[in-house]
Every structure is written in C-alpha cells, then in structure tokens.
Amino acid sequence: MENDENNNMANTMKTMNNFMPVFSAVMCFTFQVGIGIYWVAGAVIRSLQMLLINHHISKVDMDELIKKNMEKAAKKREKAGLPPNKITNQAHQNVRNINRNTESLANKKVNLPQNNSQPTPGSIADRANLVKQFEEKNKRKNR
C-alpha cells in the first residue's frame, strides 16, 4: 500500500516537473510581459537565496549551534531567576495532568438524559433526524 502511494507520488511529481515549465512558458507568452519578468526574476532570486543559505548551513557545525542556544537559554533562565529544570518539570507535570484527565474520562460512565421530546424545527437535532429518516428510507429501497 505504501509503495503504491510512493509510486503515485513519484508519478505526480514527474508529471509536474514536465508540465509546469511548459505551463509557465505558455503563461509568460500569453499574458503581459510584466508577469513573465516577475516569474523569472522571482525564480532566479529564490534559487540564489536557496544556494546561499545551503552554502552557509553546510559550513555551520550543528552541535556547536545547539550548545550556543542551550547556553543562551540558561542565561535567560538565570536572568529571570528560574531554576534550571523548571520548564522541563512543568512540561512533565502538564503531560501527567493530560494523561490523568484522559484516563479519568475513559473510566467515567456518562449518563445522558433521555429526552423524548421533539427537537425544535430548524435545529441541528431536527436536521439530524431528517438525515436519519432519509437514510432509513433509502436503505429500505436498496434492499
């Protein structure tokens, strides 16, 4: 299944890679010159920007960058007067609260009131009843 999805995606990308340049050329020659210049100039600028950013990132040591960011975060915590692990502890506490709440909701038995009165005309409940009646009617016809 996943392989089929990958093949479909690859085929779609191949089609787009072949079709979009032709489409762009047709649009550039069909519309006014300004649109074509705008598209071409934008594509050139984005390409140069991508090359410069990739060149810069390839020179950066990610471990060193992470270390600098961690030191910066520690300085901010010290300046604010927070203990070093306060944020981490708070995050763990929030996750525990979420887990506890979902467990308690799963264990609760919810008793909904039984209301046999007719819903207000035009309300969502009324429309839901109309859909239910329509589906029941079509089920009988299809049998």
Q: What is the pLDDT of residues 14-73, one digit of tens each?
A: 999 999 888 888 888 888 888 888 888 999 999 999 999 999 988 888 888 889 988 898
Helix (H) or strand (E) holding 111: none
Please check whether residues 23 and 52 belong to one and the same domain.
yes
* Structural domain for 82, as ranges: 61-101
* More confident position, 50 or 76: 50
Helix (H) or strand (E) holding 112: none
Establish if 44 belongs to a structural domain: yes
Please check whether residues 7 and 35 belong to one and the same domain.
yes
pLDDT confidence band for 103 (50 / 70 / 90): low
Please check whether residues 51 and 80 belong to one and the same domain.
no
Instruction: Provide the pLDDT for residue 87.
Output: 65
Name the domain count of the chain. 2
Cα–Cα distance, 11 to 4 (Å, whole number)? 10
Establish if 15 belongs to a structural domain: yes
Closest CA to 77 of 86, 68, 90, 69: 86
Please check whether residues 53 and 73 belong to one and the same domain.
no
Task: Give whole-number Cα distances, 105 to 80, 98, 99, 110, in Å.
Answer: 37, 11, 10, 9
Establish if 90 belongs to a structural domain: yes
Instruction: Provide the pLDDT for residue 49.
Output: 97
Is the sign of the CA dihedral 111, 116, 120, 126 positive or negative?
positive
Please check whether residues 97 and 49 belong to one and the same domain.
no
Extract the tokens encoding 81. Answer: 């007067």
The model's pLDDT over 5-14, given as tens digits with 9 standing for 90+, comes to 788 889 999 9
3-state secondary structure of 104: helix
